[in-house]
């Protein structure tokens, strides 16, 4: 037997595990505060918890028990998603799939396309696009960002393009006009856009669409991914969904269903019931309060770094921001914050070779921690 050689090509030097190792070895002089956190800090809201309790009871009763068979998702959840997130867009239940997380979905969907497809990634990007593509031995190409910190449309054709908006790690979002250029490019070149929209809930700018399908022409070239992780605090509970428009190519869903029934036994019934309850009016109200807390935290962090003279991108339509290191390389900046201030930030180089002059700061933690962290930074800068 031989191992998959491509697994050895997965980035080893500049990774979250190196950062985790540094944090483990670090001996803090005071409470360690993480501004790097990619996880949520608000728990799941009560109506969702109640729905999941009810679903547990369903599983203990012969008449309401659910076993195998939910390969593509619970029909009532698919219907709820269509009514709430894609209302008036003309999608059918055949085009929506429920899954257990966008992290795996964005790689799994590569199985629908030719293995020699040319895949275009932004540098920097959410590293899973690169490492997932490598694990499947795909051909990857990189595109640096423009002066707006967005991926410019290339001159050459590529088959699959990953776009993350609102963006992790940069924290900015693609406007309608930005996306229209990509949609036109993809339709012209018969490419497909993998549109990762897991931070949709954080959008507040009026020119940023909540779905790529708001952009004319997107139904014939884009697969959109969304998740309950950040919007409903499902990072540990696990549920996601994605749309594969039949307009991309007739028969695409028949082919994808064939693949899926052979590779996936469906997301948990209990979890899908919880996801469905996230659309109840009371859940929506409570979830929007949580999102508001993260956004207030983002505003505080953004303003603080700006006042300290850093360039700050993002933090308005996403819970992340991209903070300049003022000439340091990103590991050195991260080390300085860790060793001198007991604060964790994420080195930009983890997200790509072009990210070494920035760090990623997250607003998914608690405002009180951000306030304490920024006070430490101000004190340090004064000295
Ligand atoms: N896509 C992006 C851009 C993310 O930042 C994350 C999580 O950090 C994910 C996908 C993962 O989502 P999920 O929890 O649904 O797997």
HEC states along the chain? CCCCHHHHHCCCCCCHHHHHHHHHHCCCCCCCEECCCCCCCCCCCHHHHHHHHHHHHHHCCCCCCCCCCCCCCCHHHHHHHHHHHCCCCCCCHHHEEEECCHHHHHHHHHHHCCCCCEEEEEECCCHHHHHHHHHCCCEEEEEECCCCCCCCCCCCCCCEEEEECCCCCCCCCCCHHHHHHHHHHHHHHCCEEEEECCCHHHCCCCCCCCCHHHCCCHHHCEEEEEECCCCCCCCCCCCEEEECCHHHCCCHHHHHHHHHHHHCCCCCHHHHHHHHHCCCHHHHHHHHHHHHHHHHHHHHHHHHHHHCCCCEEECCCCCEEEEECCCCCHHHHHHHHHHHHCEECEEHHHHCHHHCCEEEEECCCCHHHHHHHHHHHHHHHHC
Answer whether 226 contacts ligand 1 (Cβ < 6 A).
no
Answer whether 313 contacts ligand 1 (Cβ < 6 A).
no
Q: Which ligand 1 atom sits nearest the alpha carbon of residue 105?
A: 16
Structure tokens at 356: 């070494």
Answer whether 319 contacts ligand 1 (Cβ < 6 A).
no
Cβ neighbours of 321 (radius 10 Å) = 27
Q: Which ligand 1 atom sits nearest the alpha carbon of residue 235?
A: 14
Distance (Å, whole) CA 380 – CA 53: 49
Answer whether 168 contacts ligand 1 (Cβ < 6 A).
yes
pLDDT of res. 36: 92
Ligand 1 midpoint to CA 378 (Å):
32
Q: Is the preceding peptide bond at 374 cis, omega within 30 degrees of 0?
A: no
Candidate from 162, 168, 231 with most ligand 1 atoms within 8 A of CB, to mutate: 168
For 339-363, what is each residue's pLDDT tens digit? 999 999 999 999 999 999 999 999 9
pLDDT of res. 37: 83
For 274-291, what is each residue's pLDDT tens digit? 999 999 999 999 999 999
Candidate from 170, 203, 227, 318 with most ligand 1 atoms within 8 A of CB, to mutate: 227
pLDDT of res. 148: 96
Answer whether 167 contacts ligand 1 (Cβ < 6 A).
no
Ligand 1 midpoint to CA 143 (Å):
21
For 180-207, what is each residue's pLDDT tens digit? 999 999 999 999 999 999 999 999 999 9
Q: Could you say which residues of the chain have pLDDT below 50?
A: none
Ligand 1 midpoint to CA 240 (Å):
9
pLDDT of res. 13: 85
Burial level of 117, CB count in 10 A (0-12/13-18/19+)?
middle
Nearest CA to ligand 1 atom 3: 168
């Amino acid at each position: 037997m031989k191992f998959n050689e491509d697994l050895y090509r997965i980035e080893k030097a500049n990774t979250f595990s190196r950062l985790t190792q540094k944090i483990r070895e670090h001996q803090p002089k005071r409470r360690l505060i993480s501004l790097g956190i990619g996880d949520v800090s608000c728990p799941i809201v009560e109506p969702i918890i109640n729905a999941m309790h009810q679903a547990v009871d369903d599983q203990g009763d012969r008449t309401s028990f659910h076993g195998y068979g939910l390969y593509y998702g619970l029909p009532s959840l698919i219907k709820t998603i269509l009514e709430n997130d894609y209302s008036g867009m003309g999608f059918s239940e055949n085009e929506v799939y429920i899954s257990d997380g966008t992290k795996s979905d964005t790689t799994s969907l590569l199985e629908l396309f030719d293995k020699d497809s040319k895949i275009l990634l932004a540098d920097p990007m959410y590293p899973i696009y690169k490492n997932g593509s490598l694990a499947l031995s795909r051909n990857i190409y990189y595109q640096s960002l423009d002066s707006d910190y967005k991926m410019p449309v290339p001159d050459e054709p590529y088959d699959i393009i990953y776009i993350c908006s609102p963006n992790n790690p940069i924290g900015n979002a693609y406007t309608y006009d930005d996306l229209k250029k990509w949609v036109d490019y993809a339709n012209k070149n018969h490419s497909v856009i993998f549109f990762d929209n897991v931070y949709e809930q954080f959008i507040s700018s009026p020119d940023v669409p909540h779905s790529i399908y708001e952009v004319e022409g997107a139904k014939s070239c884009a697969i959109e991914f969304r998740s309950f992780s950040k919007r409903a605090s499902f990072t540990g509970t696990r549920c996601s969904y994605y749309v594969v428009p039949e307009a991309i190519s007739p028969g695409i869903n028949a082919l994808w269903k064939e693949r899926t029934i052979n590779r996936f036994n469906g997301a948990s019934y209990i979890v899908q019931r919880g996801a469905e309850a996230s659309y109840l009016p009371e859940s929506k109200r409570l979830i929007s309060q949580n999102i508001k807390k993260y956004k207030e935290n983002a505003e505080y962090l953004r303003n603080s770094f700006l006042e300290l003279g850093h360039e700050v991108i993002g933090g308005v339509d996403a819970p992340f921001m991209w903070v300049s290191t003022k000439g340091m390389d990103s590991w050195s900046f991260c080390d300085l914050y860790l060793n001198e201030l007991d604060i964790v930030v994420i080195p930009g180089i983890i997200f790509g070779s072009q990210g070494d002059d920035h760090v990623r700061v997250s607003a998914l933690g608690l405002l009180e921690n951000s306030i304490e962290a920024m006070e430490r930074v101000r004190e340090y800068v004064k000295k």
